[in-house]
Structure 1
């Protein structure tokens, strides 16, 4: 009872009870500070009394506990040191349960091969005599690998290796997962990671070439087409499924414009007509130039070729003025129009009028055909002022610039034109133009012609209105450029148009 009545013991017992029962740890920190304050206060009082005899103020020694920003009063309570030690002991116990201790024991008996098998049987290491023979001849293992690698062939996409960012330092790169749609089905869900150097000069087509280079470098199968323009990039899901709702990425756009991390390499679906072998027939018109025609097969008759020439040249056949075809190498000998092209043994012919020689073919004044000089000068730049026809608003005046490389449409400035409906300037590459023809002739002396161009996966067009003479000049100039360039888009458009006409004729014949 004497111990329980002692003041210091009771204070120590109460403080210890608070510390052990408080999970937040606050009591322990506050009590320690109070004890420290008491010691400091007593020490200063003693020193002050001994020096000046004046007691120091209690306000100088008393202060509240500093509130720190990491105390987290509202979020959660701090765990006590005891709880933290118990948690560490439990964690160490769980880790120790996963460790298995095996004590090493020396065996007195020797290892018996017959009883325990041949796991540790001694083996004789034979000398590498073939390697010595190669060494004598001067061929090392490295030389053999170099000879083997030289027979593997070069990577056809080597020019795109400069866009590989895996070994680049100090440049901006981006990692993109590429799903390969041409890979075997079991490999399609696993993408190939490509690291591309991102810059203003890195286009989407360069990324396609880099993918093809890494694909070939890793020896994947099947082999890719050596033309990287045969492939495009589509947006892909996380499981590799191609999102066909969106078109492919524009090959001319920079890679930095897009932020997709998963793409799919897809082979373009080229028209079957382009994949087939092309048979190009050349028909010369004396003093008038020439025309080239692409045929799907050699079974076409010469009469059909003659009809195409007359239609292209807009030559009207009059009674007594019939036309025929001759081989370019045999002057004066008309070919059999009912024979096929395969029977001619040549692909170059000449258009002649019956009862006339090649030098006597003249152009009628009413016929609107192009001459050889006109065909050669059609590539020179020339501009025209025409009106662009719109469906839902009034026509706008534009300047149509035509050359052998491109066609430009520039709006003509007008003070009264609205900014909302103002025509923007556009430029089309000559190889993207599919056709140009007059679609309407008006009684007012004006005509409307249509310029058809390739808009990605479909054909689009612009309609223009001008004087009939100006329209005919523009149409002939553009058609001469198309005939001389023979672009794949032009071939595809002409083939599809002739196929539609043939189906229409067959349906009419069947109905009659």
Structure 2
């Protein structure tokens, strides 16, 4: 306790304690004592005298002061540092005052600034001189303009302050080794699918990809794609009129529409009339086909029963009673219309066919008359919607049947297809309980289909009616579809044989 009463010890202890945290040395100088016994002045350990009239005190301790090994600098020190930096920066700046020059420019005195260069003439006098700039302009002009320039405004990378979407686009027209690598496109969210297609074509052309695209964007469409770039053909292409913001897909595929193209070669249509059974038309690729092959086509198409001891032949339509040479080619007939007759009979005789499933003339005409059916339309996720299917020789109509219990999610919208856009109508499944499923294939931007379910007899009638209509119309869509189908069947047969 004696040591705690010693003022000099306390002052020395306090001073030494502040030394560790005060690098200014001020605490050591201001700590002092006011004592009656040292009124003439008290000599501190520092050797300085302090007056008894000047009371000494330490710095005020503030709550935000930092303690420890690293003490925060004061605001004054920070301001001084900033001032020093500003002075250093100002020393690097040079101010130049602007003065008007009253002297006029003398071209003769300053002519050395624009010396005329001597152009060396070409060794070939007939060859005109071309500058380097002209060569660059000519080479850039040869690249041609981007035909999709109008869609550049939908590029999200060049837009500021608007909502955009980043989509990976797989390009199905590039070489196979490049197809797994998508092209990333950033499009503004307000653009439509058609605008996105144009933007893809614009970026494709800018990046100078191969092969070059067709200048008409209507020949392209967008499909949903898997992560590896495979096109999901189970879903139709995206509607070109819908906005991009409606869809949440991050991976799409640019696909060129498979539009049936009419051949430059003239179509060769052979007509064969069948007594009391109407007629058949066949598209022939070449006039070198034999008449025996045409006869076999008719018998196969009509499913005509050839009984033992019977045979059939062809006659020219304009020459009744004169059978043609079946070993001769069509090119030697001078006509494309014939009549099927049974040997030892006339054209008026009745020709039997297999259980009446082939169309006769009356049945063909009846098939073109309008008739409606109530069937169930099967959707992708196996839900069904009751619809009215109307069929005529000109069009096919699908109208939803009003139902209180029907959900809005799978409600079918009314739609009409022209008969020439129908590719086929086939039975695909027979179920228990007298139900069957048939498929109606049509052509939009590509081949698509609708599946329907109904009573087996009604489904067979619908398929039979549609096939009669398709057989008589022979539309380009129908011919192209049949050609592709036959090609696939031949490939499949050759594969199984190997």
* TM-score normalized with structure 1 length: 0.51
C-alpha contact 1:289 1:371 (8 A) present in aligned 2: yes
What does residue 265 of structure 1 align with? 254
Query: Structure 1 221/438 Cα, relative in aligned 2: closer, same or farther at 3 Å?
Result: closer
C-alpha contact 2:291 2:326 (8 A) present in aligned 1: yes
C-alpha contact 2:221 2:238 (8 A) present in aligned 1: yes
What does residue 297 of structure 2 align with? 308
Decide which of 244, 255, 260 is 2:230's aligned counterpart.
244
1:438, 1:242 → 2: CA distance? 31
C-alpha contact 1:164 1:195 (8 A) present in aligned 2: no
Kindly state the Cα deviation for residue 256 of structure 1 after the two structures are TM-superposed: 2.8
Query: Structure 1 328/363 Cα, relative in aligned 2: closer, same or farther at 3 Å?
Result: closer
Instruction: Name the SS of the counterpart of 2:229 in structure 1.
Output: coil
Report the RMSD for the aligned CA atoms in angstroms.
6.6
* Residues 135-214 of structure 1: pairs in structure 2 closer than 5 A: 161=150, 164-165=153-154, 178=169, 180=171, 182-183=173-174, 191=183, 193=185, 195=187, 198=190, 202-203=192-193, 207-212=196-201
Query: Structure 1 163/433 Cα, relative in aligned 2: closer, same or farther at 3 Å?
Result: farther
2:51, 2:335 → 1: CA distance? 126
Query: Structure 1 219/441 Cα, relative in aligned 2: closer, same or farther at 3 Å?
Result: closer
C-alpha contact 2:169 2:185 (8 A) present in aligned 1: yes
Residues 288-316 of structure 1, C-alpha deviations (whole Å, 9 max, x = no match): 66544456787765444433333434444
Aligned length: 396
1:492 aligns with 2:484: no
What does residue 213 of structure 2 align with? 224
1:256 aligns with 2:245: yes
C-alpha contact 1:163 1:207 (8 A) present in aligned 2: no
Instruction: Name the SS of the counterpart of 1:477 in structure 2.
Output: helix
Residues 369-395 of structure 1, C-alpha deviations (whole Å, 9 max, x = no match): 5456765675554212457899xx9x9
What does residue 21 of structure 2 align with? none
What does residue 47 of structure 1 align with? none
Query: Structure 1 472/310 Cα, relative in aligned 2: closer, same or farther at 3 Å?
Result: farther
C-alpha contact 2:222 2:252 (8 A) present in aligned 1: yes
Kindly state the Cα deviation for residue 245 of structure 1 after the two structures are TM-superposed: 7.5
Kindly state the Cα deviation for residue 9 of structure 1 after the two structures are TM-superposed: 5.6
Query: Structure 1 425/314 Cα, relative in aligned 2: closer, same or farther at 3 Å?
Result: farther
1:124 aligns with 2:110: no
2:271, 2:481 → 1: CA distance? 20
1:257, 1:458 → 2: CA distance? 23
Kindly state the Cα deviation for residue 401 of structure 1 after the two structures are TM-superposed: 1.9
1:479, 1:259 → 2: CA distance? 40
Q: Which consecutive residues of structure 2, in runs of 5 or more, have no partner in the other structure?
A: 1-47, 89-114
Kindly state the Cα deviation for residue 478 of structure 1 after the two structures are TM-superposed: 0.8
C-alpha contact 1:234 1:266 (8 A) present in aligned 2: yes
What does residue 55 of structure 1 align with? none
Residues 330-375 of structure 1, C-alpha deviations (whole Å, 9 max, x = no match): 776544445566x568893423214699974767697455456765
1:10 aligns with 2:10: no
Larger radius of gyration: 2
Decide which of 447, 455, 464 is 2:454's aligned counterpart.
464
What does residue 398 of structure 2 align with? 408
2:62, 2:488 → 1: CA distance? 101
Q: Return the structure number with greater helix share.
A: 1
1:87, 1:188 → 2: CA distance? 57
2:345, 2:246 → 1: CA distance? 63
What does residue 109 of structure 1 align with? none
Residues 34-76 of structure 1, C-alpha deviations (whole Å, 9 max, x = no match): xxxxxxxxxxxxxxxxxxxxxxxxxxxxxxxxxxxxxxxxxxx
Query: Structure 1 16/198 Cα, relative in aligned 2: closer, same or farther at 3 Å?
Result: closer
Kindly state the Cα deviation for residue 325 of structure 1 after the two structures are TM-superposed: 3.5
Instruction: Name the SS of the counterpart of 1:478 in structure 2.
Output: helix
Query: Structure 1 344/227 Cα, relative in aligned 2: closer, same or farther at 3 Å?
Result: farther
1:245, 1:480 → 2: CA distance? 34
Decide which of 450, 463, 474 is 1:475's aligned counterpart.
463
2:316, 2:152 → 1: CA distance? 53
Residues 258-312 of structure 1, C-alpha deviations (whole Å, 9 max, x = no match): 24566443557899x9999997643242686654445678776544443333343
* TM-score normalized with structure 2 length: 0.52
Instruction: Name the SS of the counterpart of 1:10 in structure 2.
Output: coil
Q: Which consecutive residues of structure 1, in runs of 5 or more, have no partner in the other structure?
A: 29-79, 94-120, 135-140
